[in-house]
Amino acid sequence: PYEKSKSMGSGGSMEAPSLELLEAVQGEKIDLQPGKVHVLYFFTTFYKGAYPVNEEFTKLSEKYKDVTFISISNDAEKEKLERFLQKLILDDKSNEPIRMKTPFVFYDEKKATAKLYTDVSGLSIMSCPTAFIVDKDGKIQWRQQFLQTYTVKDSNFENQLLHVINGEELESNGPRPKVDAGEGEAVEADDMSLF
């Protein structure tokens, strides 16, 4: 997010919607817990390019035990998610396992919760994978989209998580870029016009 984004800390953060509509598939059913930092990772099983991001979030959940990591599947069918969680997936290059083993994996029927997070973030759509950092007060402090070519290790996501854990100010991505609208007129870009 850029400065003054609805999901960028310090003055721009919004109340995180409840997780009550989600169905637990791995781990027990929980909601956002006051006094705890949460990472909500929205993903789909069919985007194979994001599998390394799944592993990165698994590792982050193992590293930051005081943070609640919840992976949220936006697949069309819960059965696909259940089959996916049973599969052994190996990295094409290293032949190492790629895991989706965050403590909690939930299914988002009809993307109802994803729509709530899309709306509160001021987005027109939510691309998966996307992660949100929710602070101890239940406010969204950071939102980050990932791609096959832009994973957690390429981003400042872990640094931002540390800032939220420590109650520090977040790093800024600077002002929203201007897009030339033709006729030499520059307009502020929305999230979709950048792609």
A 10 A CB-CB count for 139 gives: 16
Structure tokens belonging to residue 154 = 């390429």
Question: Which of 5-9, 131-135, 170-174 holds the top average pLDDT?
Answer: 131-135
Give the pLDDT confidence score for residue 180 in this predicted structure: 59
What's the predicted TM-score (pTM) here?
Answer: 0.85
Question: CB–CB of 1/7 below 8 Å?
Answer: yes
Each residue's pLDDT tens digit, 40-71:
999 999 999 889 999 999 999 999 999 999 99
Nearest residue to 21 (alpha-carbon basis) of 110, 103, 113: 113
Q: Which helix (H) or strand (E) holds 58?
A: helix 51-63
Structure tokens belonging to residue 87 = 């599969």
Each residue's pLDDT tens digit, 17-38:
999 999 999 999 999 999 999 9
10: left (phi over 0), alpha (psi -120 to 50) or beta: left
Give the pLDDT confidence score for residue 194 in this predicted structure: 37
Give the pLDDT confidence score for residue 193 in this predicted structure: 38
The position carrying tokens 């697949």 is 75
